[in-house]
């Protein structure tokens, strides 16, 4: 018997710049676990107190001014916290934080952006996904309850772009990135949102530039992936566009999933 819970993932693009928005959202929605990406702050300067006042305990993997993830757990101490990859060279960009909640291993992920085709950063992105698949192989089986959520910086298929044409020549929609995501899925992971909704245009990110939000020109790059037993427990995944319309928004929207009792 494991208790049901709600899981939010949100790339907040600086937790300090977005503090009021994030606190407002957590206060209204009270997710049991909240995975934040792009916190852009070293651990010592993370604003722990206002989250603790909302009842959250905080697990941090941040660095100065760039990238960084944080996982907030409501009313419980974070269990079996892992920062970065389990093995091999350090994840120096601070993009991974895993913990266990109600029997589920929850990975909070901020995949590398990739910057430009042919760049070192693009090669690093592909290698990062390969290492992630390797870690799953080494530590879990597809019958374990594992959830990977966060900003994957890849649009999975044409429905997840506002225009395939606009993606040409850039990152986030290349054969190499799709192969990397396929390899991850082939471990035995399911795209939970697509269990409930197969429509195009269900975006999670809208560029600050060029009036993308007003035109609804976005991408779906934030995901909740789960192994089969966890996917069976998943009863809902919502992309909440409301905070994208608030003042001083993140360019990403929160994604909230619900997992049932077992």
- Known binding residues for Mg(2+) are 11, 38, 151, 153, 251-252
Q: Give the span between the Cα atoms of 198 and 183, in whole angstroms.
A: 21
Nearest to DNA of 6, 153 (CB atom): 153
Residue whose CB is less far from DNA, 93 or 258: 93
* Catalytic status, residue 239: no
Q: Which of 91, 151, 160, 222 is labelled catalytic?
A: 151
Contact residues for DNA (CB under 7 A)?
13-14, 16-18, 38, 40-41, 64-67, 112-113, 115, 121, 169, 208-210, 248
Q: Which long-range contacts (CB under 8 A, 24 or more apart) does 177-182 make?
A: 177/114, 177/125, 177/126, 177/129, 178/154, 180/125, 180/126, 180/129, 180/130, 180/154, 181/129, 181/152, 181/154, 181/156
d(CA 65, CA 214): 28
User: HSE of 132 in the Cβ direction (CA atoms, 13 Å)?
Assistant: 32
How far apart (Å, rounded) are the C-alpha atoms in residues 151 and 125?
12
Question: Minimum distance from CB of 96 to DNA (Å)?
Answer: 14
Q: How many helices, marked H, and strands, marked E, lie in the chain?
A: 7, 12
Smallest distance, DNA to C-beta of residue 248, A: 5
DSSP string over 2-63: ---EEEEEEE-S-TTTTHHHHHHHHHHH--SEEEEE---S-GGGS-HHHHHHTTEEEEEE--
Binding-site residue set: 11, 38, 151, 153, 251-252
Smaller CB separation from DNA, 41 or 192: 41
Q: How far is the CB of 78 from DNA (least distance, A)?
A: 23
* Catalytic site residue from 25, 56, 101, 110: 110
Farthest CA pair distance, the chain: 49
190 is catalytic: no
Q: In this structure, what are the phi and psi dihedrals at residue 89, rounded to the nearest 5 degrees?
A: -55, 145
Is the CB of 18 or the CB of 105 nearer to DNA? 18
Distance of CA 195 to the CA centre of its chain: 17
**Annotated catalytic residue 107:** no
CB of 201 to DNA, least distance (A): 19
CB of 80 to DNA, least distance (A): 27
Q: Nearer to DNA by C-beta: 113 or 235?
A: 113
Neighbours of 153 (CB within 10 A): 22
Q: Which residues are catalytic, by number?
A: 110, 151, 252
């Amino acid at each position: 018997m494991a208790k049901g819970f709600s899981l939010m993932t949100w790339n907040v693009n600086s937790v300090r710049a977005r503090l009021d928005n994030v606190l407002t959202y957590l206060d209204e929605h009270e997710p049991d676990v909240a995975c934040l990406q792009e916190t852009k702050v070293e651990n010592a300067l993370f604003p722990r107190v206002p989250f603790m006042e909302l009842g959250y305990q905080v697990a941090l993997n941040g660095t100065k001014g760039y990238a960084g993830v944080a996982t907030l757990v409501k009313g419980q101490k974070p269990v079996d916290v892992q920062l970065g990859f389990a093995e091999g060279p350090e994840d120096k960009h601070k993009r991974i934080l895993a913990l266990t909640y109600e029997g589920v291993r929850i990975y909070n992920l901020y995949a590398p952006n990739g910057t430009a085709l042919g760049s070192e950063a693009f090669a690093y992105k592909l290698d990062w996904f390969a290492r992630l698949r390797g870690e799953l192989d080494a530590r879990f089986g597809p019958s374990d309850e594992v959830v990977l959520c966060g900003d994957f910086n890849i649009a999975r298929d044409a429905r997840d772009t506002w225009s395939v044409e606009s993606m040409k020549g850039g990152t986030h929609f290349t054969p190499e990135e799709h192969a990397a995501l396929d390899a991850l899925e082939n471990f035995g992971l399911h795209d939970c949102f697509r269990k409930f909704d197969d429509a195009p245009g269900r975006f999670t990110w809208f560029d600050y530039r060029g009036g993308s939000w007003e035109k609804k020109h976005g991408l779906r790059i934030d995901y909740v992936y789960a192994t089969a037993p966890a996917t069976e427990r998943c009863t809902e995944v919502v992309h909440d566009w409301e905070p994208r319309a608030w003042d001083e928004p993140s360019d990403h929207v929160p994604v909230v999933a619900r997992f049932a009792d077992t």
